Amino acid sequence: MPDFGVYIHVPFCAHRCDYCAFATYSDRDHLMVDYVEAVLQEIARAVADGLAPADTIFFGGGTPSRLPAEELLRILDAIPKATDVEVTVECNPEDATPERLSAYRAGGVTRMS
């Protein structure tokens, strides 16, 4: 089976950078849980349609580390994974607390960007 990658866009940011052209929001953190639920519904539909196990999973944005770690890991848990999957999360330095990094590692994240 050919390599298969999944990209999850997380559109939340602490502030909007002047150079950023991506679909992001700095004033909608109250929508995070609803956003995660919508992503989980999309993944469930794809799984029902036979989504192949992912070799790579990339959380980009925005700033994926703005999501509470448990919410990001709920998404990660829902994605079928190949045995040696590489999981990358974009993370701002201020979000890289020991607790968050430990949760990511325990949840299967293998790379930070």
Query: What are the Cα distances from residue 93, in Å, to 25, 96, 101?
Result: 19, 5, 11
Greater pLDDT, 26 or 1: 26
Here the tokens at position 64 are 């994926």
pLDDT score of 2: 66
Give Cβ neighbours of residue 68 (< 8 Å, ≥ 6 apart). 32
pLDDT score of 99: 96
Could you give phi then psi for residue 43, rounded to 5 degrees? -65, -45
Pairing of strands 81-89, 54-61: parallel
Tens-digit pLDDT profile for residues 42-79: 999 999 999 899 999 999 988 999 999 999 999 999 99
Tens-digit pLDDT profile for residues 83-107: 999 999 999 999 999 999 999 999 9
**Domains identified in the chain, total number:** 1
List the domain range (segments joined by +) for residue 63.
5-112
